[in-house]
């Protein structure tokens, strides 16, 4: 059995550190915000080369609170990619704004900057690029467009903590960066969690107020807020894991390199890595002929795979009334039909990778 992800293998390597950090919080009796959350905010902000970090309940809330803090609301449009997790877009909808989808670069699977300009209208307020699978989107042209048109850029960096674009950490390039600490992420908690990073003090303060029921002072609400704090236990766990993140990301890159070598010559397309980026391989995703049959074949042999994502967002039933149809965004639709993510985690061994690739070879050799 080779699972698509093995969180037990990770815990086995850091068990004592994690258990001690949890115990410390239990003994402190302080479970909501407090020093562990503040410390993690400082550490993650510093890690992302940003001034401020605000811990929230999930990556979804990181996006929602950021968009809310930026004043995005009814009548506004926000440009994003359809080839992503639903939260990238439904947070735009939750603000009352309209997601406007533009197609992806078929090599990187990230939003195609060349397609953005044509989608800008006088209602456009922001662009939300996603750093999919751990590879940064092409941020320079996106930031240039934003500058020219007076738009905000909110990076959905949920899958890419530690990645760099032209030397800069993701999350530090736009007006704000949103991270998810969902357990499967490169920096994953043992439950939900998220963080907003920014260099804008006023924006950080607004997100901070929004996450605590809309008031800086308890029981004094200034704005319509949420209950969306990063859990203190999770912050303590993440503090331990953050120390290992660079090593884990390096290990993921080695796993990716090995896969690409082993898969050479097979009828699959291995991931393209842009020369401008430090890719952190949240996923190792190939394009495969007969994708669904291959996934089923691997499953029979105990090898886990995942499809991120089988239906692009513009074709989700949720967004039927936005007016898109099949053929609207062909690169995203083709990707949804062809992508397959292979087992990927820092602890994956070379022998396991050989087994995965041998099974893929057998499938195409039948
Ligand atoms: C690209 C992307 N955006 C947003 C999210 C939402 O994060 P969360 O699950 O922590 O709410 C995720 C992950 O789940 C994601 O992969």
pLDDT tens, residue by residue, 275-332: 999 999 999 999 999 999 999 999 999 999 999 999 999 999 999 999 999 999 999 9
pLDDT in tens, 182-232: 999 999 999 999 999 999 999 999 999 999 999 999 999 999 999 999 999
Cα angle 110-114-118, degrees, rounded to a multiple of 5: 115
pLDDT in tens, 8-23: 999 999 999 999 999 9
- What CA–CA distance (Å, rounded) separates 137 from 55? 24
- What CA–CA distance (Å, rounded) separates 348 from 242? 20
Pocket test for ligand 1, best of 56, 58, 60, 187 (most atoms within 8 A of CB): 60
Average pLDDT along the chain: 98
The pTM for the full model equals: 0.98
Are 182 and 188 in contact by the 8 Å Cβ rule? The answer is: yes
> Under DSSP, is residue 169 helix (H, G, I), strand (E, B) or coil?
strand
User: Ligand 1 pocket, 87 CB below 6 A?
Assistant: yes
b (16+ CB within 10 A) / e for 14-24:
eeeebeebbee
Burial of 62: CB neighbours in 10 Å, binned 0-12, 13-18, 19+: buried
Q: What share of the chain is helix, strand, coil (3-state, %, to 5)?
A: 45, 15, 40
> Under DSSP, is residue 84 helix (H, G, I), strand (E, B) or coil?
coil
Strand partners, 147: none
In angstroms, what is the span from residue 76 Cα to ligand 1's centroid?
Answer: 22
**Residue 277 has what pLDDT?**
98
């Amino acid at each position: 059995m080779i699972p698509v992800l093995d969180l037990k293998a990770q815990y086995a390597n850091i068990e004592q550190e994690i258990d001690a950090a949890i115990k410390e919080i239990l003994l402190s009796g302080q479970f909501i915000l407090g020093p562990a959350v503040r410390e993690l905010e400082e550490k993650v902000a510093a890690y992302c080369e940003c001034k401020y970090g605000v811990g929230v309940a999930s990556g979804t809330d990181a996006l929602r609170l950021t968009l809310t803090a930026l004043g995005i609301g009814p009548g506004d449009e926000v440009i994003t990619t359809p080839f992503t997790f639903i939260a990238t877009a439904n947070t735009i909808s939750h603000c009352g704004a309209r997601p406007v989808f533009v197609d992806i670069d078929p090599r990187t699977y990230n939003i195609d900057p060349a397609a953005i300009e044509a989608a800008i209208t006088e209602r456009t307020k922001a662009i939300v690029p996603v750093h999919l699978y751990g590879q940064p989107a092409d941020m320079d042209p996106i930031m240039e467009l934003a500058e020219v048109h007076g738009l905000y850029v909110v990076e959905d960096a949920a899958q890419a903590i530690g990645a760099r674009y032209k030397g800069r950490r993701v999350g530090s390039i736009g007006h704000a960066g949103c991270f998810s600490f969902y357990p499967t992420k490169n920096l994953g908690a043992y439950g939900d969690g998220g963080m907003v990073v920014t260099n804008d003090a006023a924006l950080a303060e607004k997100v901070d107020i929004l996450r605590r029921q809309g008031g800086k002072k308890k029981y004094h609400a200034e704005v319509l807020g949420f209950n969306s704090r990063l859990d203190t236990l999770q912050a303590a766990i993440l503090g331990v894991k953050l120390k290992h993140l660079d090593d884990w990301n390096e290990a993921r890159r080695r796993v990716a390199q090995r896969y690409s070598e082993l898969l050479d010559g097979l009828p699959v397309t291995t991931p393209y890595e842009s020369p401008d980026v430090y890719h952190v391989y949240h996923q190792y995703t190939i394009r495969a002929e007969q994708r669904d049959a291959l996934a089923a074949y691997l499953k029979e042999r105990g090898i886990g795979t995942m499809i991120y994502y089988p239906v692009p967002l513009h074709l989700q039933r949720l967004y039927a009334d936005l007016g898109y149809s099949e053929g609207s965004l062909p690169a995203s639709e083709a990707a949804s039909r062809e992508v397959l993510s292979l087992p990927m985690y820092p602890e994956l061994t070379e022998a396991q990778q050989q087994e995965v690739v041998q099974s893929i070879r057998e499938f195409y050799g039948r």
